[in-house]
Chain A
Amino acid sequence: MWLDDGGTVLSSALRLTAPLAFAACGEYLAERAGTLNISVEGMMLSGAFGAVAVGSATGSPTVGLVAGAVVGLLVALVHANLSHRIQINTFVVGLVINTLVLGLTSFLLQTMEFSRTQVGMLRIPGLADIPLVGVLFEQRWPFYLLLLVVPLTWFLVNRTRWGLELRAVGENPQAADVTGIKVNLRRRQALMWCGVMSGLGGAYLSVGLVGSFNNNMTAGRGFIVIAAVIFGAWRLKGTLLGCFLFGAADALRLALPSLGVELNPQLLVAAPYLLALTVMVLMARSQREPRALSKPFERGLV
Chain B
Amino acid sequence: MTAPARRPLASYVVGNAGLRRPSADAWRTAGITVVCVLVACALAALLVAISGGSPTEVVDALVTGSVADSAGWSQTLVNAAPLLLVALGACIANRAGVFNIGQEGQLLIGAMLGCFVALRLQGPGWMVITVALVAAAAGGGAWSGISAAMYYTRGTNVVVTTLLLTFIAAQVVQFAVNSPSLLQETGIGNGPARPQSDAVPEYLRLASFGQYPDLTIGVGVILAVVATVVLAVLIARSRWGFRLNMLGLNPMAARHAGIRASRLGGSALVLSGAFAGLAGGVILLGTVFRLQPAISNNFGWDGLLVALVARSRPGLALPVAVLFGGLRAGSSYLAATGVPDYLVDVVQALLVLAFVVPPVLSALWGRRIRNRSAVPDTPARPSAAPAKEEVPV
- Closest residue of chain B to A95 (Cβ to Cβ) is B101
Q: Does B24 contact A (CB under 8 A)?
A: no
Q: Does A220 contact B (CB under 8 A)?
A: yes
**Cβ distance B343 to chain A, nearest Cβ, rounded Å:** 6
- Which of chain A's residues have a CB closer than 8 A to the CB of B168? 270, 273-274, 277
Q: Does B160 contact A (CB under 8 A)?
A: yes
Asked if B343 and A107 make an inter-chain contact with CB atoms under 8 angstroms apart, the answer reads yes
- Say yes or no: A294-B342 contact (C-beta < 8 A), given A92-B14, A299-B391: no
- Which of chain B's residues have a CB closer than 8 A to the CB of A111? 50-52, 340
- Say yes or no: A86-B357 contact (C-beta < 8 A), given A107-B340, A267-B171, A284-B155: yes
Q: Does A257 contact B (CB under 8 A)?
A: no
**Cβ distance B357 to chain A, nearest Cβ, rounded Å:** 7
Q: Does B202 contact A (CB under 8 A)?
A: no
- Say yes or no: A91-B171 contact (C-beta < 8 A), given A86-B357, A99-B348, A266-B178: no
A 44-88 contacts with B by CB, 8 A: 82, 85-88
Q: Does A130 contact B (CB under 8 A)?
A: no
- Which of chain A's residues have a CB closer than 8 A to the CB of B387? 299
Q: Does A161 contact B (CB under 8 A)?
A: no
- Say yes or no: A110-B340 contact (C-beta < 8 A), given A95-B305, A99-B345, A301-B8: yes
- Which of chain B's residues have a CB closer than 8 A to the CB of A86? 9, 357, 360-361, 364, 393
- Which of chain B's residues have a CB closer than 8 A to the CB of A274? 168
Q: Does B167 contact A (CB under 8 A)?
A: yes
- Say yes or no: A102-B345 contact (C-beta < 8 A), given A88-B357, A277-B161: yes
- Closest residue of chain A to B393 (Cβ to Cβ) is A298
Q: Does A126 contact B (CB under 8 A)?
A: no
- Report Cα–Cα, A140/B10, bound state, in Å: 43
**Cβ distance A218 to chain B, nearest Cβ, rounded Å:** 13
- Report Cα–Cα, A247/B292, bound state, in Å: 27
- Say yes or no: A103-B393 contact (C-beta < 8 A), given A92-B356, A96-B352, A280-B160: no
Q: Does B174 contact A (CB under 8 A)?
A: yes
Q: Does B349 contact A (CB under 8 A)?
A: yes
**Cβ distance A32 to chain B, nearest Cβ, rounded Å:** 15
- Report Cα–Cα, A227/B161, bound state, in Å: 10
**Cβ distance A92 to chain B, nearest Cβ, rounded Å:** 5
* Chain A 272-300 per-residue mask, 1 if CB under 8 angstroms from chain B, else 0: 01101100110011000000011010111
Asked if A223 and B164 make an inter-chain contact with CB atoms under 8 angstroms apart, the answer reads yes
Asked if A95 and B304 make an inter-chain contact with CB atoms under 8 angstroms apart, the answer reads yes
Asked if B342 and A103 make an inter-chain contact with CB atoms under 8 angstroms apart, the answer reads yes
B 218-277 contacts with A by CB, 8 A: none
Asked if B343 and A100 make an inter-chain contact with CB atoms under 8 angstroms apart, the answer reads no
Q: Does B163 contact A (CB under 8 A)?
A: yes
- Which of chain B's residues have a CB closer than 8 A to the CB of A280? 150, 154, 156-157, 160-161
Q: Does A226 contact B (CB under 8 A)?
A: yes
Asked if B154 and A284 make an inter-chain contact with CB atoms under 8 angstroms apart, the answer reads yes
Asked if B393 and A281 make an inter-chain contact with CB atoms under 8 angstroms apart, the answer reads no
- Closest residue of chain B to A110 (Cβ to Cβ) is B340
Main secondary structure of the interface of B (DSSP, over half): helix
Asked if B157 and A220 make an inter-chain contact with CB atoms under 8 angstroms apart, the answer reads no
Asked if A96 and B349 make an inter-chain contact with CB atoms under 8 angstroms apart, the answer reads yes
Q: Does B206 contact A (CB under 8 A)?
A: no
Asked if B167 and A270 make an inter-chain contact with CB atoms under 8 angstroms apart, the answer reads yes
- Report Cα–Cα, A236/B52, bound state, in Å: 46
Asked if B346 and A100 make an inter-chain contact with CB atoms under 8 angstroms apart, the answer reads yes
Asked if B342 and A100 make an inter-chain contact with CB atoms under 8 angstroms apart, the answer reads no
Asked if A107 and B161 make an inter-chain contact with CB atoms under 8 angstroms apart, the answer reads no
Determine which residue in B12, B47, B163 has the highest number of CB atoms from chain A within 10 A of its CB, and name it. Answer: B163
- Say yes or no: A266-B174 contact (C-beta < 8 A), given A106-B340, A223-B167: yes
Asked if A87 and B360 make an inter-chain contact with CB atoms under 8 angstroms apart, the answer reads yes
* Chain A 182-218 per-residue mask, 1 if CB under 8 angstroms from chain B, else 0: 0010000000000000000000000000000000000
- Which of chain A's residues have a CB closer than 8 A to the CB of B340? 106-107, 110-111
* Chain B 313-324 per-residue mask, 1 if CB under 8 angstroms from chain A, else 0: 000000000000
B 33-66 contacts with A by CB, 8 A: 47, 50-52
Pick the 9 closest A-B CB pairs, nearest first: A103-B345, A100-B349, A87-B9, A284-B154, A111-B51, A270-B171, A110-B340, A107-B342, A103-B346
Q: Chain B residues in contact with chain A, CB under 8 A?
A: 3, 6, 8-10, 12-14, 47, 50-52, 99, 101, 150, 154-157, 159-161, 163-165, 167-168, 171-172, 174-175, 178, 301, 304-305, 308, 340, 342-346, 348-350, 352-353, 356-357, 360-361, 364, 387, 389-391, 393
9 A-B pairs besides A86-B360, A226-B163, A284-B155 with CB distance below 8 A are A99-B305, A99-B348, A103-B349, A104-B342, A104-B346, A107-B342, A111-B51, A269-B171, A280-B157
